[in-house]
């Protein structure tokens, strides 16, 4: 005997049963995709960007930052091995900047600000060090006599180590989402939270 004939059967709802909850809600956006561990953004994309931190996927304390992300061909990093200052000079000439508005939480905004400060110190440190080192040597000479032969090179080494630290901190923190690739009107961004990426639709094959 079917339920249609059974007057004691439980009433059936016209509405479809709810879909099982998925691990990550998909973002409906025509200009935002995931491509393996990278996020692909269409240049000029403003709407449809999830209001969650791209670094940790939290929705708390997020603010939209209009990031100015630099890109140059990776081969220019070879300049770093030859002459770091040569690299920064070459970078000025060859870098292309993309303005991408992304949401970033308070904590990652702080580290990003600190990273950009370190980037500024890469160029400012040699001048600060020369001035500060000269001042130190002058005061030392006056108080304790001429600086010993071993102390002067040690001061230079310390200055160089601090300068290298500014460089490392900048490359780790000051580049929030480094641009890995550019193709037509799209950019590929790295260092994005895996949970954030999981909510994005995969990049269609014809756009790769």
Give the interface with Zn ion as residue ranges (CB under 5 A).
53, 55-56, 105, 108
Nearer Cβ to Zn ion (79/111) = 111
- Cβ within 8 Å of residue 175, ≥6 positions away: 115, 191
User: Shortest distance, CB of residue 39 to Zn ion, whole angstroms?
Assistant: 14
- Asked if 196 contacts 50 with a C-beta cutoff of 8 angstroms, the reply is yes
Nearer Cβ to Zn ion (66/150) = 66
Nearer Cβ to Zn ion (26/106) = 106
Nearer Cβ to Zn ion (45/177) = 177
C-alpha 190/C-alpha 135 separation (Å) is: 43
C-alpha 115/C-alpha 67 separation (Å) is: 14
Nearer Cβ to Zn ion (72/109) = 109
3-state secondary structure 75-113: HHHHHHHHCHHHHHHHHHHHCEEEEEEEEECHHHHHHHH
Residue 100, CB half-sphere, CA atoms under 13 Å: how many? 27
User: Shortest distance, CB of residue 5 to Zn ion, whole angstroms?
Assistant: 59
CA distances from 197 to 8, 22, 172, 174 (A): 49, 14, 20, 21
* Angle at the Cα of 177 from the Cα atoms of 172 and 183, rounded to 5 degrees: 130
User: Shortest distance, CB of residue 51 to Zn ion, whole angstroms?
Assistant: 12
User: Shortest distance, CB of residue 31 to Zn ion, whole angstroms?
Assistant: 22
3-state secondary structure of 5: coil
User: Shortest distance, CB of residue 125 to Zn ion, whole angstroms?
Assistant: 28
User: Shortest distance, CB of residue 91 to Zn ion, whole angstroms?
Assistant: 27
Nearer Cβ to Zn ion (105/118) = 105
């Amino acid at each position: 005997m079917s339920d249609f004939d059974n007057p004691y059967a439980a009433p059936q709802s016209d509405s479809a049963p709810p879909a099982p909850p998925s691990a990550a809600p998909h973002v409906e956006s025509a200009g935002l995709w995931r491509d393996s561990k990278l996020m692909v953004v269409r240049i000029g994309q403003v709407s449809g960007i999830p209001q969650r931190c791209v670094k940790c996927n939290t929705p708390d304390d997020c603010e939209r930052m209009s990031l100015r992300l630099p890109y140059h061909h990776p081969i220019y990093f070879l300049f770093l091995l030859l002459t770091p200052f040569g690299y920064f000079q070459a970078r000025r000439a060859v870098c292309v900047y993309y303005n991408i508005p992304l949401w970033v939480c308070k904590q990652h905004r702080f580290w990003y600000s600190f990273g950009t400060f370190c980037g500024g110190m890469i160029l400012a440190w040699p001048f600060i060090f020369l001035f500060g080192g000269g001042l130190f040597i002058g005061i030392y000479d006056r108080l304790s006599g001429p600086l010993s032969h071993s102390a002067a090179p040690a001061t230079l080494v310390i200055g160089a180590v601090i300068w290298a630290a500014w460089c490392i901190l900048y490359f780790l923190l000051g580049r929030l989402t480094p641009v890995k690739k550019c193709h037509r009107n799209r950019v590929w961004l790295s260092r994005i939270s895996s949970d954030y990426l999981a909510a994005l639709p995969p990049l269609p094959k014809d756009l790769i």
